[in-house]
Amino acid sequence: MDKKVKLSVVVVAIVIVTLTFYMLYNGSEAEFESTEITVINEQGENITIYVELAMEHSQHRKGLSGRDSLCDPCGMLFIFDENISSGFWMKDTSIPLSIAFIAEDGTILDIQDMEPYTDDEHKPEGEYRYALEVNKAFFQDNDIHVGNMVIIPEEYRT
């Protein structure tokens, strides 16, 4: 094989590897399924939130990073196969967010505000099954607090 053919093969291989890694680790907004969930606030009102679902590890990693905005009342619901205790951070996320950590039965365990482009770890004291990210102050503005219930459609409960 001459040098030009070898070089072409190497370039094609590099392009394929680069594209594969890009697709595996970046994904796109279209990869998230969506649904509605309901939160019962302090006043007993049902607050509907339109959520994208992060159910796979690659979706958990991507989350809302790379977005410029998030509609109201919209968010992302992270669904885990088992109770976990790991945290969230905002390293590549430009939207100020609030996060609710939710128990398997739907009880909100903790709510925290998160600032854009920070690597501060956000997690509750104990384990949780779900996490809900929304625009910062959404929970406060809708009178949603620790102890309130989140109703997750049956097909998405683990």
At 14 the pLDDT is 63
**Distance (Å, whole) CA 153 – CA 36:** 8
pLDDT in the model for residue 16? 59
pLDDT per residue as tens digits for the range 116-138: 999 999 999 999 999 999 999 99
How, if at all, do strands 46-54 and 74-84 pair?
A: parallel
The highest-level CATH class for domain 32-156 is mainly beta
Q: Are 41 and 144 in contact (CB under 8 A)?
A: yes
Q: Please report which confidence band the pLDDT of residue 25 belongs to, taking 50, 70 and 90 as the band edges.
A: very low
- Please state the domain extents for the chain: 1-28, 32-156
pTM of the model as a whole: 0.81
Torsion of CA 111, 128, 66, 72, to 10 degrees: -50
Q: pLDDT at residue 13 above 70?
A: no
Quote the CA–CA distance of 119 and 121 in Å, as a whole number: 6
Label residue 36 exposed, middle or buried (CB < 10 Å: 0-12, 13-18, 19+): exposed
d(CA 16, CA 144): 47
